[in-house]
Amino acid sequence: MAFPLSAPRGRTARRALVALAGAAGILLATVPASAAPTNPATATEAAELIAARGHDLEALAEEFNEARENLAAQQAAAQAAQVEVERATAVLAEAQQSVRGVARSAYTGSGLNSFQALMISGSADEFVNRMSTLQMVAGHQNELLTVAADANAVAVRAQAELQASAAEAQRQYDAVSGQKVELERQIGEYRAIHDRLSAEEQRAVAAAAATAHASGAAHGSESAGSERASRGERTEPLAAASAPVVADGQAAQVAIDTAMAQRGKPYVWAAGGPKAFDCSGLTQYAFKAAGINLPHSSRMQSQMGRSVARGDLQPGDLVFFYSPVSHVGIYIGNGQMVHAPTSGDVVKVAPVDAVGGYAGARRIAA
């Protein structure tokens, strides 16, 4: 009879606790501080604060995603440990019953005991052999009982450790979730201030423009033409992205095509599609269509595949931003990527350098 549960299960549970503690350190180190809101004096200042808190919210979404991945893994491990405890308990009960059966047979005479062995043995050697057999059977049963008892104890300890890991993962999940409410409140305040200041500034700009129009119409036409040209220069790289993107491999091609098909769908905190996405939710969704499973976490994704130098980027590579990593997009060539930017925005194509804080790239699929 075999008992597969042994010490490694306990070591696995302890490794889970250590890994979870490390993840907790990363999460707590990167959760944005809830600074008291300031009072922006202009719409520009308010917009800057909205953008800053929007980035904080995006980073927090990625921390939430990682906490959610850890929670799911620890809950699954705890459930598996429960199944193992039930199996080990059943094996222990079976071993105990077997030992009791051997003892009962010897006591009632239904089995071969030492007196019977003596009576039916034709010689001293035969008697010794029969007694050795009896002792071997008893010893084997006791050994099975000891192994089963040890396995059961290991399973119970592993279950307790994994349940503790799951509880810690739940605590991290709840803590990160609580940060979201405060950031959204601040964004709402800044947006209200921005809208009020913007309306006031727009009225002032309109009045100034009306005054300037009477004395500088020609200059205004020239400025408008210059502005149109400037807009044309700015939008040209994005227009080029409308051309078909060709990847070197089938999986990368499917991932790119899937991500590009999501353009225009809104960024939603911790969303993984199909109607809305956050940054790692988009990349997870795109690569899943190509048969590649990624965790819903930009930091976790940044540890997969193989590292790619900036100069060696190919369409389909994942590009990462900030330290620690809290944003990801899919490179599509020509210095551009498709990504889900931040709260209030939509999935779209943008230059890789538009985000800032470039942190590296990984090649997940050929």
Question: Could you list the active site residues?
Answer: 279, 327, 339
Q: How far apart are CA 168 and CA 150, in angstroms?
A: 27
Tell which phi-psi region holds residue 357, choosing left (phi > 0), alpha (psi between -120 and 50) or beta: left
Q: How many CB atoms lie within 10 A of CB 70?
A: 26
Q: Is the distance from CB of 298 to CB of 327 less than 8 angstroms?
A: yes
User: Using N-to-C axis directions, what is the helix angle for 7-30 and 43-108, rounded to 10°?
Assistant: 170
Q: How far apart are CA 68 and CA 27, in angstroms?
A: 12
Q: How far apart are CA 258 and CA 262, in angstroms?
A: 7
Q: What is the DSSP secondary-structure string of 36-87?
A: PP---SSHHHHHHHHHHHHHHHHHHHHHHHHHHHHHHHHHHHHHHHHHHHHH
CA distances from 240 to 56, 235, 356 (A): 31, 9, 21
